[in-house]
Amino acid sequence: MLGFVLAVVAMALVFQYINGFHDTANSIATVVATKVLSPMQAVGLAAITNLFGALWGTAVAKTISSGLIDTSVVQVTAPLLLCALIGAIVWNLITWAMGLPSSSSHGLIGGLCGAAVAAAHGNWSAILWSHPAHPWFKGTGVYWKVVLPMVTSPVIGFIGAFILLAILYAIIVAIARSGGPLARLARPRFVGAFFQKAQLASAGFMGFAHGSNDAQKTMGIIALALVSAAKEGHLDALPNWLHFLDPSAAAMDHGEIDLWIKLSGALVMAAGTAAGGWRIIKTMGHKMVKLQPIDGFAAETAAATVITVSSALGLPVSTTHNISGAIMGVGTAKNPRAVKWGVVERIIWAWILTLPAAGGVAWLLVHLFMRMGWF
């Protein structure tokens, strides 16, 4: 069983790396599309800000490690987690190859749920849908932590970006009509130069938000694997060189994550981010709508705000969904006809298919593992 635990840790870090280059595009597509930064400069900025974001808070990690699977119905084991991770990785790589900005977050959650249902022999109660003792605003489980934010967060990102861009345009128009020396501040050259600089800050904020939410999901998986293994006694006779794996089980069981898990997850995501994801950047930054620096600033600021607030609340939302919704919002604010709705339709289908597709792969893997006697 120790071999499976080590495999889960390794596969979780592989997933984190893939998440880095798969979702890099989400945090930097707008700043590349507006030509404020070159692709390499944008990737460097995203890698650094991802690192800082990944070390900020553990609320999302707590949700992943204890808020989605009902352990009274199915035992969370290392083979189960391994199937969940592989399911998410397979779907991530398929959508990356197709240039579709799907959600790594929902790929992981779908894989986890699919593996849990398969391990419970088709018992859907293995998924913790909601906690009856908790009010809705403190809700736990898939309904409150995953399904509802999956629908509402991109809508909020869309509305937020639409409103922010409308306010910025209104301010510029008001300045232009004011006359006098201030009117020159509304000239296109000045506006473009100002928002080129402002977009550096918003792109950094977006990278930080991505790290604060996505990195924690893998941390939660590793913590869950180690705590489960420790409770089953599989880590009782660890060799000295693997002693760091033995968790502070009581602490981690209450949602605290060991420092080495935070650091490894953050560094691996930063490394993956540095590898880039140019296929998805092309879809996000060029095919959906043509962006100017002011548009990129509004989209990044709105999306990053939604993600950061969600991270603080322990909601594992999708960076992909939020920045996509925000880009659609700024495109609609400029001109609804400017948005290429055919591309949007492909993206939405990728969103819809992610949970069942990753879950289906994980479900098949669990049954394969069962045939091989690994469960």
Regions of the chain where pLDDT drops below 70: 24-27, 101, 132-139, 247-255, 276-289
Check residue 250 and give its pLDDT. Answer: 45
Q: Please give the DSSP secondary-structure letter assigned to residue 37.
A: S
Check residue 337 and give its pLDDT. Answer: 82
Check residue 179 and give its pLDDT. Answer: 76
Check residue 155 and give its pLDDT. Answer: 93
3, 81, 350 from 363: Cα distances, Å:
21, 11, 19
| Per-residue pLDDT tens over the stretch 163-221 | 999 999 999 999 888 877 778 888 888 998 999 999 999 999 998 998 888 888 888 88
- Kindly report the pTM of this predicted structure: 0.85
Q: Please give the DSSP secondary-structure letter assigned to residue 246.
A: S
Q: Quote the crossing angle between the two packed helices 259-275 and 39-54, to the nearest 10°.
A: 170
Check residue 220 and give its pLDDT. Answer: 84
Structure tokens at 117: 């249902």
> Cβ distance 29 to 280 under 8 Å?
yes
Closest of 50, 51, 27 to residue 39, by C-alpha: 27
DSSP SS3 for 188: helix
3, 371, 374 from 367: Cα distances, Å:
19, 6, 10
Output phi, psi for 228, to 5 deg. -65, -45
